[in-house]
Amino acid sequence: MSVKLTILGSSGALPAYGRFPTSQYLNIQNRHMLIDSGEGVQMQLNRYQIPIHKIDHIFISHLHGDHYLGLMGLLFSMHLQRRTTDLHLYSQKGLDDIILLQLKYSKSILNFNIVYHAYDPTEKKLIHEDDVLTVHTIPLNHKLECAGFLFREKTKPRKINKEKLSNGMLLQHIALLKSGGDVYDENNNLLYRNSEYTLPPRTSFAYAFCSDTAWNEKMVDQIREVDLLYHEATFMEEEKDKAMETKHSTAAQAAAMAKQSGVGKLLIGHFSARYRDLEPMLQEAREVFSNTDLALEGTTFELNA
């Protein structure tokens, strides 16, 4: 398993018809991340048997309540379950003040540290990097400053061709070959040429999460050819004027963005409470970009080489 995305919430501003506000759980090579934290997020994590203690990184797209109001309950549950490891929280400035105010008036001190990473939602910036992935912000077009997130796997190690392994090969030789290097002895004589002992690495994937936004052509180059794109689709085309007024997107616009960006697969979500039946919305998107699915609660999408 390389990338695994579970939808926890698909609703817009209001919970409706069993749909929860926006939240997603993302697992990339055993890096456990939460994207947005709408109301009821810890109930959804429990419902889908996702252990909250595994989550080490939380990314908040903006400070409209339907994208973060579940956060404090989740933090207090982590505290009550005796979490001690650091939790990394990524948000624009302001969420730190909200958290501190609630801790102040509840006279609470968490058992764990929150490492707060403030970002500017108007800029494309690298906000997290480790040995397997990078995360960049994607500036969006919404009434409140808002950012999406681009999660991209780094190039994976080359695979050892087991049929070519020899008895004299040491573990450090194998590690060097997997990293793409050739192996030499102490006299600089070539022992093992990388191209002869390895196979190409497994595919690396990219996932773009585009939270609340109107049509935003500026992000096309940044999300071009990602394997999986989540793009909000609050309204249908018949409510296009409402979408423009509130700086949201229609299902057709989300699909047009996916098509223009050449992505592999599109997920749509953040559905308005005016739509009980989402099938017409899905069909509207598929007429423009056929490889579209609804980002519904409990659905898991996987990317595997």
- Residue 291 one-letter amino acid: N
**Is 8 in contact with 23 (CB distance < 8 Å)?**
yes
Taking each helix axis from N to C end, the angle separating 279-286 and 251-261, rounded to the nearest 10 degrees, works out to: 30
**Is 215 in contact with 257 (CB distance < 8 Å)?**
yes
CB count in 10 Å sphere of residue 287: 12
Q: Catalytic site residue 97?
A: no
CA–CA separation, 96 vs 8, rounded Å? 24
Q: Which of 36, 66, 212, 227 is catalytic?
A: 66
CA–CA separation, 34 vs 54, rounded Å? 10
Q: Look-up: residue for tokens 């309204």?
A: 235
CB count in 10 Å sphere of residue 293: 17
- At a CB cut-off of 8 Å and minimum separation 6, what does 177 contact? 158, 160, 183, 192, 194, 197, 198
DSSP character at residue 162: G
Q: Torsion angle, CA of 221/13/134/128, rounded to 10 degrees?
A: 130
Type and span of the H or E element at 196: helix 194-197
Three-state DSSP class for residue 34? strand
How far is the CA of 23 from the CAs of 59, 71, 194, 229, 237, in angstroms?
A: 10, 10, 43, 15, 25
Catalytic residues, by residue number, are 66
